[in-house]
Amino acid sequence: MGHQARNHLDHKPFFISMIFLLFIGIYTYTGNSLPASDEAEEPWVTEGLSDKQTSLVPKPVQYEKRAEVTENEYRRIGYYAGWSAYSGFNVEDIDASKLTHINYAFANISEDGRIAVGDPWVDIENPYPGDTENQAIKGNFNQLKKLKEQNPHLKTLVSVGGWTWSENFSDVALTEESRTNFAKSVLEFVQKYGFDGVDLDWEYPVRGGQPDNINRPEDARNYTLLLKEIRETFNAQTKKDGEKYILAITAGPSKHHARNLELDKLHEYVDYIQLMTYDIHGEWDELTGINAPLYQDPESGFFKDWSVHDSVRTFIGQGVPAQKLVMGLPFYGRMFKQVNDSGNGLYQPFSGGGKSVSFAALEAQYIDKNGFTRIWDDESQVPLLWNGDTIISYDDTESIGHKTDYIKAKGLGGAMIWELSQDPDEVLLTKVDEELK
């Protein structure tokens, strides 16, 4: 019958549908998208591939320029554990030319809520050649000052807390008075001992960490306020002396850890966030697992597994600019003993306990030695060692290369190393330097 003119008022549903479609078109054109649901958590859109193979398209987020480092330079941050001096790896053994920052682990928190020297002997008292008897500051702290004099580009931060000394963080963050007291003590500490800033390693706000840690539900909010106070204290000092004071934090990598931080707020106060993207599995588990998988293994034996990639997209999804995220790299592996002899020993029960093993020890005793065979896990992009009884998950130059490629592809802020004494021959450190310099 041909096309007949119709009164649009007789077809209100059609008219409303057209208006809705027009709105969707305009909304999409402007670069926004409608959320699928209020419960959506992931900031990435997959394009029909597996998690490891996916081409990831982030939601439109305005990222800040990389803070505190020069343009196009990735941070190469190495933790130096103060206790390494007891085993013969000294500050002077660090090749600072391959690093931009050194985090000194650890300072403690005193009962009166101030930052405190962690180990007085090794930190400030132990005399080195060239030190004088009446010298006020000796030990590792003075050695770090000398290292900076030889490497003017290098920045040093004192790391506070860690697994052992996080007990008092909740009290420090609790009130305006306690936050002000701690912030002032941090500024005094970094100025007195020659550091460029502070790295807060609270393990962990709200819940977790050592059994004797103090935890409160309000830790998440109070942590943000503590960081704000330290930032304002640093900024006030910068106006006086023109010096740049660095504020960083180190955070647990999981959704659980992210949930207990106000990431969308606190990132405004820090120069960067270092992710502890390791110890994802270890001897505390019932099954053998991978220490630091870049991607999840779809064949994982764990009901809920995790990966470096999952950590990165979780933190970005909660508002952290990619350039402020620093990926943690372990210079050690995780060993599992008396493993059920099935396949390559992965995701199997074990009864002999386990431990961490430095990369230096792995090279000397395990990699293609003493019956151990190297196996590459293509899904997780990391190597394994297996001898029929013991399995070791670790990182080598190949897996470090995949992780540094990821850092560059995703526009992250760099890499953090735990920790330098575990690779004294600089095999892994050289790889990080070559890829991120």
Q: What is the pLDDT, as a whole number, of residue 366?
A: 98
User: Of 161, 138, 160, whose CA–CA distance to 91 is shortest?
Assistant: 138
pLDDT surpassing 80 at residue 120: yes
Q: What is the pLDDT, as a whole number, of residue 13?
A: 37
Lowest-pLDDT range of 66-80, 307-321, 398-412: 66-80
Q: How many CB atoms lie within 10 A of CB 366?
A: 20
pLDDT surpassing 80 at residue 50: no
Known active-site residue 203: yes
Confidence of residue 69 (pLDDT cuts 50, 70, 90): low
Task: Say what angle helices 308-317 and 397-409 make with each other, to 10 degrees.
Answer: 20
- Written as one string, the DSSP assignment of 164-213 is TS-TTHHHHTSSHHHHHHHHHHHHHHHHHHT-SEEEEEES-SSS-SSTT-
Taking only the tens place, the pLDDT of each residue in 351-391 is: 999 999 999 999 999 999 999 999 999 999 999 999 999 99
Question: How much of the chain is in helix, strand and coil states, percent to nearest 5?
Answer: 35, 20, 45
Pairwise CA distance, residues 294 & 391, whole Å: 18
Q: What is the pLDDT, as a whole number, of residue 343?
A: 84
pLDDT surpassing 90 at residue 191: yes
Confidence of residue 68 (pLDDT cuts 50, 70, 90): low
| Residue 120: half-sphere exposure toward Cβ, Cα within 13 Å | 2
The mean of the pLDDT values for the chain is 87
pLDDT surpassing 60 at residue 61: no
DSSP 353: -
Q: Name the catalytic one among 92, 111, 125, 203.
A: 203
pLDDT surpassing 90 at residue 37: no
Pairwise CA distance, residues 160 & 113, whole Å: 12
Taking only the tens place, the pLDDT of each residue in 196-234 is: 999 999 999 999 999 999 999 999 999 999 999 999 999
pLDDT surpassing 60 at residue 23: no
Q: What is the pLDDT, as a whole number, of residue 165?
A: 98
pTM for this entry: 0.84
Q: Are 140 and 421 spatial neighbours (Cβ–Cβ below 8 Å)?
A: no
Confidence of residue 342 (pLDDT cuts 50, 70, 90): confident
Distances (CA, A) of 84 to 92, 97, 127, 387, 415: 12, 20, 16, 30, 21
Site of tokens 């702290």: 141
Q: How many CB atoms lie within 10 A of CB 151?
A: 16
Q: How many CB atoms lie within 10 A of CB 372?
A: 19
Q: Which residues contact 286 (CB under 8 A, 6 or more apart)?
A: 349
Percent of the chain with pLDDT over 70: 84
Q: Are 311 and 254 spatial neighbours (Cβ–Cβ below 8 Å)?
A: yes
pLDDT surpassing 50 at residue 337: yes
Q: How many residues does the chain have?
A: 437
Indicate the class that CATH gives domain 71-276. Answer: alpha beta
pLDDT surpassing 80 at residue 278: yes
Element (H, E) at 406: helix 397-409
Gyration radius of the chain's alpha carbons: 25
pLDDT surpassing 80 at residue 9: no
